[in-house]
Amino acid sequence: MALILGLESSCDETAASLVTSDRQIVAHCLARQDAAHRPYGGVVPEIAARAHVEALPPLIEQALAEGGVRLDQVDAIAATAGPGLIGGVMVGLVTGKALALAAGKPLIAVNHLEGHALSPRLTDPDLAFPYLLLLVSGGHCQLLLVEGAGRYRRLATTIDDAAGEAFDKTAKLLGLGFPGGPAVEKAAEAGDPRAVPLPRPLKGSAEPHFSFAGLKAAVARAAPNYPAADVAASFQQAVVDCLVDRTTRALRGIQATALVVAGGVAANRAVRGALEQLAAQHGLRFVAPPLWLCTDNAAMIAWAGAERFAAGFSDPLDTPARARWPL
Ligand code: KG4
Ligand code: ZN
């Protein structure tokens, strides 16, 4: 059994976790930066990077203390090496390199998207490759066929905005605050999803991709004329319809053991519910990680590290931090 320390700092969560190769989550420590970014209505990269510098070392100490282990008892150190806000990625990766060098342990440079992609296997030991993954977060909206650790086939991506970005912009437009996704979901509870006519970009299209820019623009036009709850509910329904349509299209051409949803938007109950129904219609297992594992965290980075470590991967200490890094 291997014990992996994972570090995450690619956006606005700073996190350190200890996870074992047999799926024990030994420590899960996380600091959010919402309060620092709220006055700006979005994540400010420079503020994020500075906050990571302050928050990460005590989180690592806390994780080791919670696990009752010393650094030299860890088998490998996994750190997010991208994609993300480059200042933040550098903080976590350089910290990971320093710890690896000091403790004489291997460094595993993890792609943040791989962290999301493999995270469902941390809490579901029965989830076997290959599975269709809908990865929906603030920065990404992709359909991936996950064939193994390090083996991904990208079937679709967004041609403009990510789904989470659309949630965040809609929240800003409606004055619902930051972060936007949970605020829109809450507002939608009191609204009518059929009240506001909104487009479903690329729905029914022969091409596989996602698009949310047109929906965002339509929300901006409609918002002044309807109650905020109705706009929120109608917007959320439009996103759900697009996700279901594009996922249905992807399912046609592949063999998969399960339909899996991950990323921050997977925390949305309407999204989860609709995908669960879709999986049932196709006779597929539906797997969604617990909510805390859907949004950014270091347990998923440690777990991706564990899978890569088991597969024999490790990375040199001059591995670069990358703002862009497609899976
Ligand atoms: O995966 P994540 O924590 O960070 C990225 O890698 O992007 O995802 C954050 C995104 C944000 O856009 C946030 O608004 C969205 O996930 N999100 C939600 C919900 N919770 C978080 N979107 C819709 N409904 C939610 N309940
Ligand atoms: Zn993420």
Residue nearest to atom 8 of ligand 1 (CA): 264
Is the pLDDT at 327 greater than 90, yes or no?
no
Q: What is the pLDDT of residue 246?
A: 98
Interval between CA 267 and ligand 1 midpoint (Å): 7
Sheet holding 131-136, edge to edge: 151-156, 141-148, 131-136, 258-262, 285-287
Say which residue the tokens 């909104």 belong to: 198
CA distances from 149 to 106, 152, 204, 209 (A): 17, 8, 32, 24
| Residue ranges of domains in the chain, CATH in brackets | 3-118+295-310 (3.30.420.40), 129-288 (3.30.420.40)
Q: DSSP readout, 242-260?
A: HHHHHHHHHHHT---SEEE
Q: Report whether the peptide linkage leading into residue 130 is cis, meaning its omega lies within 30 degrees of zero.
A: yes
- In this structure, what DSSP letter does residue 263 have? S
136 is in an annotated binding site: yes
CA 99 to ligand 2 center in whole angstroms: 23
pLDDT of residue 253: 86
> ipTM higher than 0.95?
yes
Pocket of ligand 1 (CB under 6 A): 11, 137-139, 164, 167-168, 179-182, 185, 263-265, 267-268, 295-296
94 annotated as ligand-binding: no
140, 167, 184, 236, best to mutate for ligand 1 pocket (most atoms within 8 Å of CB)? 167
Least confident of 83-97, 99-113, 167-181, 241-255: 167-181
Percent with pLDDT over 70 in the chain: 100
Helix axis angle, 228-252 to 180-188, nearest 10°: 110
pLDDT tens-digit map of 126-180: 999 999 999 999 888 999 999 999 999 999 999 999 999 999 999 999 999 878 9
Instruction: Ligand 1, residue 112: give the atom nearest the CA.
Output: 6
Range list of H helices, 68-147: 86-103, 112-118, 120-123
Distance CA 118, CA 147 (A): 10
Task: Spell out where 83-207 has E strands.
Answer: 107-111, 131-136, 141-148, 151-156
> What is the 221 CA–ligand 2 centroid distance (Å)?
29
Identify the pLDDT of residue 34: 87
Per DSSP, the three-state class of 64 is: helix
> Which ligand is closest in space to the CA of residue 113?
2
Do 95 and 102 form a contact (C-beta atoms < 8 A)? no
Ligand 2 centroid distance, CA of 309 (Å): 21
Query: Known binder of ligand: residue 139?
Result: yes
Q: In whole angstroms, what is the distance from residue 265 CA to residue 263 CA?
A: 6
Q: Is 138 annotated as a binding residue?
A: yes
